[in-house]
Amino acid sequence: MTTESNNPRELAVMVGATGALGKFVARRLVASGLDLLAVGRSEKELKSLSESSPHIRYCVADISEDSSIETIAQHVDKTVRMAIHAPGVPVAGGVLEASPLVLGQAVNIKAGGMLRLFRAVESHLVRGSRLVAVGGHYGFEPTAYAATAGVANAALTNLMRQLSWALGDRGVTAHLVAPGPAETERLHAIATANAAKRGVTPDVVLDEIRQQSAIHAFTLPEQVAWGICLLLAPEADAMAGSSLMLDSGRRHGLP
């Protein structure tokens, strides 16, 4: 019989585990046989998440600051099978009115934060470990009304390709998961900002976005969790450096 004592659980480290998408990912990672170190700024939310499972612990750190590297590293004590970066970023409206400062902050959180997470766990990565960043649809299909999501996720996509090439010799793979728009509070915030600009209700905007999907649907958090945990399989080596599109059939471009 195989027991946990002779088949110890490896570690997943996740930024954004208390978010609308992150909670679903956290539960699925634990169900997949991993322990989880959840990283975030709100100790109250992190503590609540950790109380949901004996396999979840937490670390309070601000991933937008370089100090988070050492803080996270001090909590990592075993092999990291997967490091997931899924933070939220500020909503600044469309490109015509977005603050350059907020745009820069979004890139710092998304791309800079991913680099900080990598450096925090680097010494515990082994062949077959995964670096996974949650990007988004707007990083590939720009729109006039989601400046921070578009620019920050485009930068993140490039960064993950760079990490893939830099770590390939070690057998560590880097991946981007690009959902969306997903049915979350963030989507509603984007819709509200767009609606105010156009003088319509948020429901009108949400329905328009829904119709942009080939199946007229938003991506669900459960589907994002499935996509991320799919990368735990050894066969996912073949997806090194790739972007997993979970957009419910929205992209028009090839590939």
Q: What is the pLDDT of residues 179-205, one digit of tens each?
A: 988 888 878 887 898 898 899 999 999
Pairing assessment for the beta strands 243-246 and 11-15 based on DSSP bridges: unpaired
| Model confidence at 4: pLDDT above 60 | no
Percentage of the chain lying above the pLDDT 90 cut:
82
pLDDT, position 119: 99
CA-wise closest residue to 27 among 235, 224, 247: 224
Cβ distance 81 to 33 under 8 Å? no
Taking CA 222 as the corner, what is the angle to CA 220 and CA 228, rounded to the nearest 5 degrees?
Answer: 110
Q: Judge whether 62 and 41 are in contact, CB under 8 Å.
A: yes
52-67 pLDDT tens trace: 999 999 999 999 999 9
Residue range 130-147: average pLDDT?
A: 92
For residue 5, is pLDDT > 70? no
Question: Could you read off the pLDDT of 78-100 as tens digits, one per residue?
Answer: 999 999 999 999 888 889 999 99
Q: Nearest CA to 63 among 163, 156, 166?
A: 156
pLDDT at 255 over 60: yes
Residue 38 pLDDT greater than 70, yes or no? yes
Averaged over 98-126, what is the pLDDT?
98
Predicted confidence band of residue 3 (pLDDT cuts 50, 70, 90): very low
Question: Which domains can be identified in the chain, with CATH numbers?
Answer: 11-239 (3.40.50.720)
